Structure 1
Amino acid sequence: MAKRKKIIMSWSECRVEVGKTLEGDAMATDLYSVGTINDKSTTLATTDGESLEAKASGGKTVALEEGEPVVTLTTRVKEMDFDTEGFFTGAVKSTDGDELDVKTNIVQGEFSVKVTPKNIGATGIKAARCSVKFRPGSSEDEGQYVDLTFTIFETESGTLYKKFKVKKEDWADPKFVADANAGA
Structure 2
Amino acid sequence: MARRRHRDRPHRGRHRLRPHRTTPSPPKTEWTSTVAQRRWTYATHGRISRPPNPVGGTVYVVTDDDTSNDHTVYALDTGTVAMKWTYDLNGLSASLLTMPNGVVYVGCHDGNVYALDAATGTRKWMYSTGGGADATPAVANGVLYVGGGELVHAVDAATGTEKWVYTVGGVRSASPAVANGVL
Length-normalised TM-score, structure 1:
0.21
Higher relative contact order (CA 8 A, sep 6+): 1
Q: Which has the higher helix share?
A: 1
In our comparison, the structure showing a higher alpha carbon Rg is 2
Length-normalised TM-score, structure 2:
0.21
